[in-house]
Amino acid sequence: MGAAVQDQEGKSFFRSILASMEDVYLSRNRTAKAILELVGSANNDQICYDHLAFRTFGVNGHGIDSLARFFLDFGYTQREELRFPAKKLKALWYSPPDVPYLDSGSRVNGPLPRIFISELLVDQMSPKTQEIVRKYTEISGTGNKHAALASALGSLTWEKPKHSEFEELARESEYAAWTLVNGYAVNHVTISAHRLKSHLRDIKSLDRFIEDNGFKLNSEGGVLKVSPDGLLLQSSTVADTISFQFSDNIKDSVPCSYIEFAERLLLPQYKNLPENEVKEFHRRDGFEVGNADKIFESTSKDQLSRIAA
Ligand code: OOG
Ligand code: NI
């Protein structure tokens, strides 16, 4: 890890930034906040983040690289690319450096999360969508160089759009509309189910617990998303909405963020390992296009309207 700089609480500079990104996320997303408290109270407050996810506009340096640079500077390693042709998206994920953490460390002070960053393939969008996206990324200027800072502050690096521009984007790509109003804000954090200590470590129990407490899960393709190898299990809530003041003075609710759950099962070669010897690297790593494709829908109108109903 590059910077060993410690803040007054002895937390590394890098973790302080993660903590600010998390603060923004918790302040805007009451469902995520409530679920973290609920799961935390059932688990001695021991929650590990499997990954954090971000969305970007893949145009003129505002895409994945703009935010990835920050994580690479702090020791992260770029891993596989994922493609979503129908959604016109591309994603990359990054694995964390092997750094010490307190055994009692939870969330941003626990094991460092993987990072999942996606981008809209802007060149493949309609002329109208391109025009709007290019307008705001141009207004941003060199804002792309400060993506991590924008995320930690919860600021857009461009001006607020007009309501009609948001609607125009939403017709072609809900991802584009989401990114226009949320910018580099954390799209979701993911609770590592298998690292929980209670019975909730089984993702099916965790999903039931969440639903029994009155929260709606993203039902796209079934609540539980399972990778073809059967080893990566994921589910997520439906995004919260926030009231957004557009530049033309129209106020409307827009989707913000959601929370995800992931259980990574043991790789076949380690499946007989005694439980107390199991480390994260013995488990299925990475992401899965088929799962991710459905998790993206956590911010979609379809899923949001199920909540309102
Ligand atoms: C990301 C959706 C994919 C995963 O873990 O596969 C994902 C997004 O909604 O931006 O989170
Ligand atoms: Ni995710």
Query: DSSP string spanning the chain?
Result: -----B-TTS-BHHHHHHHHHHHHHHHH-HHHHHHHHHHHHTTTT---EEEEEEEEEESTT-SHHHHHHHHHHTT-EEEEEEEETTTTEEEEEEEPP-----TT--GGGSSPPEEEEEEEEGGGS-HHHHHHHHHHHHHHGGGGGGHHHHHHHT--SSPPPPHHHHHHHHHH-HHHHHHHHHTTS--EEEEEGGG-SSGGGSHHHHHHHHHHTTPPBP-TT-SSEE-TTS-EEEEEBPPPEEEEE-TTS-EEEEE--EEEEEEEPBPGGGTTS-GGG--GGGB--S--HHHHHHHGGGGSHHHHHHHH-
Within a domain: 6: no
Mean pLDDT, rounded, of the chain: 95
In this predicted structure, the answer to whether residue 15 has a pLDDT above a threshold of 80 is yes
* 306/167: higher pLDDT: 167
Is the Cβ atom of 118 under 6 angstroms away from ligand 1? yes
Within a domain: 230: yes
Within a domain: 215: yes
The pLDDT of residue 99 is: 83
The pLDDT of residue 10 is: 63
* 104/43: higher pLDDT: 43
* 7/97: higher pLDDT: 97
| Closest C-alpha to ligand 1, atom 3 | 292
The atom number, within ligand 1, closest to the CA of 187 reads 10
Has the ipTM of the complex gone over 0.90? yes
The pLDDT of residue 105 is: 87
Please report which confidence band the pLDDT of residue 9 belongs to, taking 50, 70 and 90 as the band edges.
low
pLDDT tens for residues 175-231?
999 999 999 999 999 999 999 999 999 999 999 999 999 999 999 999 999 999 999
pLDDT tens for residues 111-166?
999 999 999 999 999 999 999 999 999 999 999 999 999 999 999 999 999 999 99
How many domains would you assign to the chain? Answer: 1
| Closest C-alpha to ligand 1, atom 7 | 292
In this predicted structure, the answer to whether residue 11 has a pLDDT above a threshold of 80 is no
Question: How far is the centre of ligand 1, averaged over its atoms, from the C-alpha of 37 (Å)?
Answer: 22
Average pLDDT over residues 226-255: 98
Within a domain: 208: yes
- The domain in which residue 254 lies consists of 14-97+105-308
Measured between alpha carbons, how far is 121 from 177 in angstroms, rounded to an integer? 14
Lookup: tokens for 238: 């439906």
Percent residues over pLDDT 70 in the chain: 96
- CATH number of the domain encompassing residue 109: 3.10.180.50
- Residue 36 is which amino acid? L
The atom number, within ligand 1, closest to the CA of 258 reads 9
Within a domain: 2: no
Average pLDDT over residues 63-88: 98
Within a domain: 5: no
In this predicted structure, the answer to whether residue 86 has a pLDDT above a threshold of 90 is yes
The pLDDT of residue 108 is: 96
Within a domain: 172: yes
Is the Cβ atom of 296 under 6 angstroms away from ligand 1? yes
Is the Cβ atom of 191 under 6 angstroms away from ligand 1? no
In this predicted structure, the answer to whether residue 308 has a pLDDT above a threshold of 60 is yes
Please report, for residues 181, 240, 245, 308, the alpha-carbon distance to residue 305 in angstroms, rounded to integers and kept in the order given. 19, 11, 21, 5
In this predicted structure, the answer to whether residue 4 has a pLDDT above a threshold of 60 is no
Please report which confidence band the pLDDT of residue 170 belongs to, taking 50, 70 and 90 as the band edges.
very high
Q: Are the C-beta atoms of residues 75 and 114 closer than 8 Å to each other?
A: no
Question: How far is the centre of ligand 2, averaged over its atoms, from the C-alpha of 190 (Å)?
Answer: 6
Within a domain: 9: no
The pLDDT of residue 218 is: 98
